[in-house]
């Protein structure tokens, strides 16, 4: 894998991120404003970059940086998949010094259980204790970050 993994927010390329996320089942049609607001409100953002500087991977973490972290928006460009970039980004995030105190890590996936399993994630042992409140995606206002 000849890819640079970084948590430097200044390197993020919103156009590249939108190009990847807007085609996914969980963020279909996501806008640049939504992405920017999500980045702004995240505890950690991670990018993967090829040797030409193109952003080929992205993930973010929502966390209190003490007990809880939620990994989301993990995406790798289609032409860079199956090279270990997703795993590298997840490992980078879960070992990042800013999140060293976190002991409860969560994520949601419908198709990448194997990849996350290689990073130490497993199905919840007590899912009956967890609850959620899900609603349709609302219309968004423009975010000026």
130 within some domain? no
30 within some domain? yes
What is the average pLDDT across 49-67? 96
Q: How many domains does the chain have?
A: 1
64 within some domain? yes
**Which tokens sit at 69?**
């972290």
- The whole-angstrom separation of Cα 92 and Cα 13 is 19
**Which tokens sit at 104?**
């409860």
18 within some domain? yes
- The whole-angstrom separation of Cα 71 and Cα 136 is 20
What is the average pLDDT across 50-57? 94
How far, in Å, are 5, 22, 76, 99, 137 from residue 134 at the CA level? 32, 20, 26, 27, 9
Domain of 61, CATH number, reads 3.40.630.30
39 within some domain? yes
Higher pLDDT, 145 or 54: 54
pLDDT at 34: 92
Domain with 111, as residue range(s), is 4-122
40 within some domain? yes
115 within some domain? yes
The model's pTM is 0.89
8 within some domain? yes
Question: Does residue 7 register a pLDDT over 60?
Answer: yes
User: What tens digit of pLDDT does each residue of 65-91 get?
Assistant: 999 999 999 999 999 999 999 999 999
Question: Does residue 139 register a pLDDT over 80?
Answer: no
């Amino acid at each position: 894998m000849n890819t640079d993994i970084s948590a430097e927010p200044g390197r993020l390329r919103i156009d590249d991120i939108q190009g990847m996320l807007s085609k996914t089942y969980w963020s279909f049609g996501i806008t640049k404003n939504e992405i920017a607001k999500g980045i702004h409100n995240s505890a950690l953002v991670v990018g993967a970059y090829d040797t030409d500087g193109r952003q080929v991977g992205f993930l973010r973490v929502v966390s209190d940086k003490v007990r809880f972290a939620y990994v989301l928006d993990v995406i790798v460009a289609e032409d860079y998949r199956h090279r270990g970039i997703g795993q590298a980004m997840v490992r980078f995030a879960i070992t990042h010094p800013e999140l060293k105190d976190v002991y409860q890590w969560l994520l949601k996936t419908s198709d990448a259980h194997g990849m996350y399993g290689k990073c130490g994630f497993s199905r919840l042992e007590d899912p009956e204790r967890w609850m959620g409140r899900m609603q349709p995606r609302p219309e968004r206002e423009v975010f000026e970050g």
